[in-house]
Amino acid sequence: MVDTPTDERVDRITRLAQELFRVPMVSVTLLDHDRQWRKSEIGLGGREAPRAGSFCDATARLGATNVVPDAAADPAWADSPWVQGDPHLRFYAGHPLEAPGGEHVGTLCILDTEPRELDERQVALLQELAGWVQLELARSRELDGALLVQRALAPQRLPEAPGYELAGASAAAGAISGDFWDIVAHEDDLRVTVADVMGKGTGPAIIAASVRASLRTAPHRDLASSVAEVDRLLEESLSEANVFVTAFHSSLRLETGELEFVDAGHSLAFALRADGSWERLRSTGLPLGMGLGEDRRSASVALEPGDALLCCSDGLLDILDAERPFEHVSRTLAEHGPQGAVEEAVRLARERRAPDDVTVVVVRRSA
């Protein structure tokens, strides 16, 4: 957790502590071998400081709430550089933060340049706030781990596809995405997939990873059977979770440009023709996991030279020009090409704080 960016959930607790205790300085401090790293701070003016001889180091070693009412009058602290020099501390109160294994890895502390006392109620409040910080940091660790797994599962390198330009990316609305995309080579074909699990966060991300794994398990299986198998697995394992998945799963024959696809309630795949026209790609199908045991069937379309396949999640709709979405996409593709257009979608998603996960895949056949 040291050297990690700020976290708004932790920052909120820091602001609340300042308001409740009416102090000029508050810090959520994490400790490593020789440093203090302020995950969140108010009034201290920096993220990093030496650990040796610090108030927070003493609190972590004590393993309990540590209150110093007047550091200048306390023999243990009177000569401290934090007391004698900037920020000229007089009051310190901190409570240790524990790692899952019980190790003391940091503190929540409040500080002042004037002497102060804390009564029993205030000490209990500081301990409660520290417990809240601890829960948020644990949640962040879990999300960080899940995010690393999700990034590892995302395509690290797109396959070689002579005569085609390939691009794809996702931007999560939160810490982790419920969307996934995949482009994988299979003999002379490309398997191109975009799926969107209902909801956001860790639960949908786990389901997305499972769907991706299932679709990749048997590359020789035809598209309809692959999608039907995912549908069956979702019904068997998650029928009580009321979760469904929209998906576009396709196979592109590189030599001819023929695209076979199954659309399971996704309805956000298009052929952008070289003449600027748009064709929505449709095949009958409800979302996966709805429990209707639907017979999955594929459809097909041809990508001619200059044509492009574009498939996205519905989060993209939140950041496009609402009045002219197709024109917006066409212009971006023309100006930036597939890779640039995908990068622009991710940039807009982050800049505009898209409320839903945004995923975009583009496959363009060279003219």
Q: Looking at residue 293, what is its pLDDT? A: 62
In this structure, what token pair is assigned to residue 202?
A: 């860790």
Cβ neighbours for 22, distance < 8 A, ≥ 6 positions apart? none
List phi, psi (to 5°) of 240.
-90, -5
* E strand residue ranges, the chain: 25-31, 35-42, 48-50, 66-68, 91-98, 104-112, 164-171, 179-186, 189-197, 245-253, 258-264, 269-272, 278-280, 299-302, 308-312, 358-365
Question: In this predicted structure, what is the pLDDT of residue 284?
Answer: 63
3-class DSSP state for residue 122? helix
Distances (CA, A) of 103 to 90, 107, 186, 324, 344: 28, 12, 49, 56, 43
Q: What is the DSSP string of 194-258?
A: EEEESS-SHHHHHHHHHHHHHHHH-TTS-HHHHHHHHHHHHHHHHGGGT--EEEEEEEEETTT-E
pLDDT of residue 279: 95
pLDDT of residue 33: 85
What's the distance, CA 83 to chain centroid?
41
Give CA–CA dist 268/333, Å, rounded.
Answer: 17
Beta carbons of 243 and 234 less than 8 angstroms apart:
yes
Q: Are strands 91-98 and 104-112 parallel, antiparallel or unpaired?
A: antiparallel
3-state SS, residue 6: coil
Regarding beta strands 308-312 and 189-197, do their DSSP bridges make them parallel or antiparallel, or are they unpaired?
unpaired
Q: Phi, psi (5° rounding) for residue 258?
A: -75, 130
* Closest by Cα among 283, 290, 329 to 310: 329
Alpha helices of 265-324 — where are they, by DSSP H?
none
Find the Cα–Cα–Cα–Cα dihedral 122, 127, 129, 131, rounded to 10°.
-170
> Beta strand pairing status for 164-171 and 358-365?
antiparallel
Q: Which residues of 124-146 are buried (b: 16+ CB within 10 A; e: fewer)?
A: eebeebbebbbebbeebeebeeb
> What's the pLDDT at 151?
65
The domain segmentation of the chain, as residue ranges, is 8-148, 158-365
38, 47 in Cβ contact below 8 A?
yes
Joined together, the tokens standing for residue 208 give 């997305």
Q: What is the pLDDT of residue 58?
A: 97
Q: What is the pLDDT of residues 302-357, one digit of tens each?
A: 999 999 999 999 999 899 888 888 899 999 999 999 999 999 999 999 998 888 88
Note the CATH number of domain 8-148. Answer: 3.30.450.40
Report pLDDT for 186.
Answer: 83
> Where does residue 355 fall: left (phi above 0), alpha (psi -120 to 50 degrees), or beta otherwise?
alpha
Angle CA 336–332–196, to nearest 5 = 105
How far, rounded to the nearest angstrom, does the alpha carbon of residue 274 sit from its chain's CA centroid?
Answer: 35
What are the structure tokens assigned to 37, written together? 């790293």
Residue 248 confidence (pLDDT): 94
Q: Which pLDDT belongs to residue 45?
A: 85
**What local confidence, expressed as pLDDT, does residue 233 receive?**
81
User: Residue-wise pLDDT tens for the chain (367 aa)?
Assistant: 555 667 788 899 999 999 999 999 999 999 988 899 999 999 998 888 999 999 999 999 999 999 999 999 999 999 999 999 999 999 999 999 998 778 899 999 999 999 999 999 999 999 999 999 988 887 766 655 556 566 666 777 899 999 999 999 998 887 677 788 999 998 889 999 999 888 666 777 777 878 888 888 767 788 988 888 888 888 776 656 567 888 999 999 999 999 999 998 888 999 999 999 999 998 767 888 875 566 788 999 999 999 999 999 999 989 988 888 889 999 999 999 999 999 999 999 999 888 888 999 999 999 6
What does CATH list as the number for 158-365?
3.60.40.10
pLDDT of res. 153: 62
**C-alpha–C-alpha distance, residues 359 and 193, integer Å:** 11
| pLDDT of 61 | 95
